[in-house]
Amino acid sequence: MNFENSLAFAQQLDKQDSLAHYRNEFHLIKKAGTPMVYLCGNSLGLQPKSARAAIDQELNDWAEMGVEGHFDGKNPWLYYHHFLTEKAAKVVGALPSEVVIMNNLTANLHLMMVSFYRPTPTRYKIMMEVSAFPSDMYAMETQARFHGLNPDDAIIELKPREGEHTLRTEDILAQIETHKDSLAIVMIGGVNYYTGQAFNMQAITVAAHAVGAIAGFDLAHAAGNLHLQLHDWDVDFAVWCTYKYLNSGPGGTSGVFVNERHGNKPELVRFAGWWGHDEQERFQMKKGFKPMIGAAGWQLSNAQIFPMAIHKASLEMFDEAGMENLRKKSELLTGYLEFILKDYSQYLTVITPTDPKQRGCQLSVIVKNEGKKLFDYLQTQNILPDWREPDVIRMSPVPMYNCFEDIFRIGEALRRYYL
């Protein structure tokens, strides 16, 4: 598309946008009565207007039924994760049996590592990207120590080439081949939180399997952002949060994908809990763990009803909109933002890949001078991006609630600041 830096052009794109009405389904952040350009969906998505009614339904059932809400509520709590599974599976491109919603992200990551990181004296290394999100770094460090290993030896960090900000796929694949005899698991973020780079998860999975390693991904910045196909890519496992692009509330619940190749192996080592036990026999209270088939067999405790209620409300919108459609709009929004930012290339450097296949809806921008000053200024202009030390502003126009006029307003604010 040939973009134009004009209000009329941005408004025309909004008129043509078949997803534009979803913006009205969210509580927009306002300052002095004016909606802000909210660019922090990569940290916390906006609140769906349907979230309050979803929670109220469960509060009412609790008030009126007490414990019987587990069986007689409108959405019986005993089976609550079932109400989320099919729609969540569509978001990540999985079979329903391969997905379960439970716990929080890092807890789920550790649970997956229990099952899939089984180091031996010769095959024990973990491969991850350098400058991964701290939770992933700490999880991998402590997993190595749990197995009596030195993290400095056990963890391979993938680093960009000198003078580059992002990783090349060929370099990742080459490193997998280089460490083929000692590599136990590749555990990478689907999208790097800092640079916004989306990794080629299919190619990485194929390469990992070719050398006998497991392929797992943290999709905190990918779920609800990219058009994922976890089942078709043959990924072994993945975890994600729901409070970023999936708009399910601060500290919201988490999702897990376990490939069906592993989900039907009751002998696979795991940390077990009551809720993962065979649903038909759960209330017999017998010894001897018998896991449910699929990802549900990794559940520990009963459902987090209130955060799951919000997630259920959000997933209904994703199911209606469709990830393919959201992704198409996302590429247009981010492409338009990149076009606008080019006018200020002497002041700003976009470090996110220009190829839409290698990014989601986030552009990370290095500000060459006094970046925090620019960040503070943007907020005075009713624009809320995200600041990351030492010099990066992250901007994430989300297709569910951002519009093209938002992008134009960013350009106008930059024009007033720099020109």
> What is the chain's length?
419
Burial class (CB in 10 A: 0-12, 13-18, 19+), 82: middle
The neighbour count for residue 132, using CB atoms within 10 Å, is 21
**What pLDDT score does 1 carry?**
87
Q: Are 316 and 336 part of one and the same domain?
A: no
Do residues 409 and 387 make contact, with C-beta atoms less than 8 angstroms apart?
A: no
Burial class (CB in 10 A: 0-12, 13-18, 19+), 30: exposed
| Helix, strand, coil share of the chain (percent; to 5) | 45, 15, 40
Residue 280 placed within a domain: yes
Sequential pLDDT tens for the chain (419 residues):
899 999 999 999 999 999 999 999 999 999 989 999 999 999 999 999 999 999 999 999 999 999 999 999 999 999 999 999 999 999 999 999 999 999 999 999 999 999 999 999 999 999 999 999 999 999 999 999 999 999 999 999 999 999 999 999 999 999 999 999 999 999 999 999 999 999 999 999 999 999 999 999 999 999 999 999 999 999 999 999 999 999 999 999 999 999 999 999 999 999 999 999 999 999 899 999 999 999 999 999 999 999 999 999 999 999 999 999 999 999 999 999 999 999 999 999 999 999 999 999 999 999 999 999 999 999 999 999 999 999 999 999 999 999 999 999 999 999 999 98
Residue 2 placed within a domain: no
Residue 108 placed within a domain: yes
Residue 216's φ and ψ, nearest 5 degrees, are: -130, 155
Residue 50 placed within a domain: no
Using the 3D structure, point to which of 257, 289, 320 is the last residue of a domain: 320
Q: Are 311 and 352 part of one and the same domain?
A: no
Domain count, the chain: 2
Q: Are 103 and 24 part of one and the same domain?
A: no
Q: pLDDT per residue over 130-166, tens digit each?
A: 999 999 999 999 999 999 999 999 999 999 999 999 9
**Whole-number Å distance between alpha carbons of 47 and 404:** 20
DSSP 183: E
Using the 3D structure, point to which of 275, 300, 320 is the last residue of a domain: 320
Q: Which of 128, 136, 141 is nearest to 108 (CA)?
A: 136
Q: Are 24 and 136 part of one and the same domain?
A: no
Q: Going by C-beta distance under 8 Å and a sequence separation of 6 or more, which residues neighbour residue 240?
A: 92, 105, 218, 219, 220, 222, 223, 246, 254, 255
**Whole-number Å distance between alpha carbons of 167 and 197:** 8
Residue 49 placed within a domain: no
Q: Are 197 and 316 part of one and the same domain?
A: yes
Q: Are 242 and 188 part of one and the same domain?
A: yes
Q: Are 313 and 353 part of one and the same domain?
A: no
DSSP 45: P
Determine the 3-state secondary structure of 395 from DSSP.
strand
Using the 3D structure, point to which of 280, 300, 320 is the last residue of a domain: 320
Q: Are 228 and 347 part of one and the same domain?
A: no
Q: Are 83 and 203 part of one and the same domain?
A: yes
Q: Is the bond into 76 cis (omega within 30 degrees of 0)?
A: no
Q: Are 243 and 305 part of one and the same domain?
A: yes
Q: pLDDT per residue over 173-204, tens digit each?
A: 999 999 999 999 999 999 999 999 999 999 99
Q: What is the domain range of residue 307?
A: 55-320
Residue 358 placed within a domain: yes
Q: Are 401 and 311 part of one and the same domain?
A: no
Two structure tokens written together for 84:
């989320």
CATH number at residue 97: 3.40.640.10
DSSP 355: S
Percentage of residues in the chain having pLDDT higher than 90? 99
Burial class (CB in 10 A: 0-12, 13-18, 19+), 57: middle
Amino acid, res. 163: G
CATH number at residue 27: 3.90.1150.10
Q: Are 409 and 278 part of one and the same domain?
A: no
Residue 47 placed within a domain: no
Q: What is the DSSP string of 9-40?
A: HHHHHHHH-TTGGGGGGB---EETTEE-EE-B
Q: What is the DSSP string of 75-126?
A: S-GGGTTHHHHHHHHHHHT--GGGEEE-S-HHHHHHHHHHHH----SSS-EE
Residue 276 placed within a domain: yes
